[in-house]
């Protein structure tokens, strides 16, 4: 202990001596040393943050193995850690290889994404879609309304994933959903951004049917395929067999035509694989030997339309 004291005294003496030596010859160095001596020490760790780190360490300390083998985290862990864990488990849960989160944990995930909305997409399929959950998100959004300032516009941008989630799962913002559904950005060979029209078809079929009717008259093969796929899906789900039977061969031709753009053909194929109809499995198995569907070339890439359909429907 005495050695430490002597070392400290010597260090301070040396620093003071250096300050005196350079006072006359280099006032800049003297000022720098003085500023350094006066610089405040870093603050101690914030108690909540320190406790958060302790929880993370406690969770990871006994973990050994792959991500798939991670133990289920405690619900008191920080939001991003909860989202990260369940986001990594999402596909395993969809495939039945992992137990889904409890109802209580689903609500914890909902609270977590309200704190970090940009992460919503990682666990969207695991969030509770109940009247209580919908009202909780709506109340949260109502607490941060935009008023036109830069700060509010930033807030609106941050909350956009939550607003879109609410729009696609509830009656809120229905007019906006209808508007976006009618503004599909599709070229002749590309189907994309279908979330709104698919949500509208699920939530409000009469409103969606009007828009789909317009897409059927489009000159875009992509929009026509989208319209037929949505009509087929609704017909199967609502038991309209005659409509489904009429659309089935049309979608089959689109799905298996090598001249159809891979994106459009894949959308038709995914729809046919996702829905249950008589003869579906035998028809799909017959496609497995179709080389034109498993070795497509698109924009310099090799596309396996069959494998993509299998993967998509395993995770739905």
Domain boundaries, the chain: 49-172, 186-314
SS (H, E, C) 40-94: CCCCCCCHHHHHHHHHHHHHHHCCCCCHHHCCCCCCCCCHHHHHHHHHHHHHHHH
- Residue 79, classified by CB atoms within 10 Å of its CB into exposed (0-12), middle (13-18) or buried (19+), is middle
Put residue 190 in one of left, alpha, beta given phi > 0 → left and psi -120 to 50 → alpha. beta
What's the pLDDT at 303?
Answer: 52
What's the pLDDT at 209?
Answer: 98
How many whole angstroms separate alpha carbon 223 and alpha carbon 195?
14
SS (H, E, C) the chain: CHHHHHHHHHHHHHHHHHHHHHHHHCHHHHHHHHHHHHCCCCCCCCHHHHHHHHHHHHHHHCCCCCHHHCCCCCCCCCHHHHHHHHHHHHHHHHCCCCCCCCHHHHHHHHHHHHHCHHHHHHHHHHCCCCHHHHHHHHHHHHCCCCCCCHHHHHHHHHHHHHHHHHHHHCCCCHHHHHHHHCCCCCCCCCCCCCHHHHHHHHHCHHHHHHHHHHHHCCCCHHHHHHHHHHHHHHHHHHCCHHHHHHHHHHHHHHHHCCCCCHHHHHHHHHHHHHCCCCCHHHHHHHCCCCHHHHCEEECCEEECHHHHHHHHHHCC
Q: Cβ contacts of residue 215 below 8 Å, gap of 6+?
A: 184, 223, 224, 226, 227
What's the pLDDT at 301?
Answer: 42
How many whole angstroms separate alpha carbon 82 and alpha carbon 55?
12
Q: Could you tell me the two tokens for 178?
A: 């209808």
Q: Cβ contacts of residue 91 below 8 Å, gap of 6+?
A: 315
What's the pLDDT at 93?
Answer: 83
Tell me whether strands 301-303 and 296-298 are parallel, antiparallel or unpaired. Answer: antiparallel
Q: Tens-of-pLDDT digits for all 316 residues of the chain?
A: 444 444 443 444 444 455 444 444 455 556 656 665 665 655 555 454 445 445 554 545 454 445 555 667 766 778 888 898 898 888 778 777 788 999 999 999 999 999 999 999 999 999 999 999 999 999 999 987 654 444 444 456 778 999 999 999 999 999 999 999 998 866 666 788 899 999 999 999 999 999 999 999 998 999 999 999 999 999 999 999 999 999 999 999 999 887 888 788 889 999 999 999 999 999 988 888 777 776 555 544 445 666 666 665 555 5
Strands, E assignment, the chain? 296-298, 301-303
Q: Could you tell me the two tokens for 193?
A: 């951004």
Nearest to 65 by CA among 88, 43, 45, 36: 88
How many whole angstroms separate alpha carbon 312 and alpha carbon 316?
6
Residue 97 vs residues 69, 70, 175, 226, 273: alpha-carbon distances, Å? 11, 14, 39, 32, 21
Q: Could you tell me the two tokens for 111?
A: 């609270």
């Amino acid at each position: 202990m005495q050695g430490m004291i002597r070392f400290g005294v010597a260090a301070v003496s040396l620093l003071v001596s250096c300050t005196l030596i350079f006072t006359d010859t280099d006032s800049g160095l003297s000022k720098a040393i003085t500023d350094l001596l006066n610089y405040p020490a870093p603050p101690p760790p914030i108690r909540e943050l320190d406790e958060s780190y302790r929880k993370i360490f406690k969770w990871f300390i006994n973990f050994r193995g792959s991500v798939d083998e991670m133990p289920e985290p405690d619900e008191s862990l920080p939001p991003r850690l909860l989202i990260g864990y369940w986001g990594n488990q999402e596909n395993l849960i969809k495939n039945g290889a992992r137990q889904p989160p409890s109802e209580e944990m689903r609500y914890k995930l909902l609270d977590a994404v309200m704190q970090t909305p940009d992460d919503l997409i990682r666990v969207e399929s695991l969030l509770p879609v109940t009247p209580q959950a919908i009202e909780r998100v709506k109340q949260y959004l109502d607490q941060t309304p935009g008023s036109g300032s830069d700060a509010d516009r930033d807030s609106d941008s941050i909350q956009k994933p939550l607003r879109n989630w609410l729009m696609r799962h509830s009656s809120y913002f229905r007019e906006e959903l209808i508007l976006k559904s009618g503004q599909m950005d599709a070229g002749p060979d590309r189907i994309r951004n279908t979330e709104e029209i698919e949500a509208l078809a699920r939530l409000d079929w009469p409103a969606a049917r009007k828009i789909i009717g317009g897409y059927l008259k489009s000159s875009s093969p992509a929009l026509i395929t989208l319209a037929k796929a949505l009509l087929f899906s609704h017909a199967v789900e609502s038991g309209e067999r005659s409509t489904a039977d009429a659309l089935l061969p049309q979608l089959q031709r689109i799905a298996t035509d090598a001249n159809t753009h891979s994106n459009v053909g894949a959308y038709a194929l995914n729809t046919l694989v996702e829905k249950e109809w008589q003869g579906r499995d035998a028809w799909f198995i017959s496609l497995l030997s179709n080389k034109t569907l498993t070795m497509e070339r698109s924009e310099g890439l090799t596309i396996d339309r069959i494998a993509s359909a299998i993967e998509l429907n395993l995770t739905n």
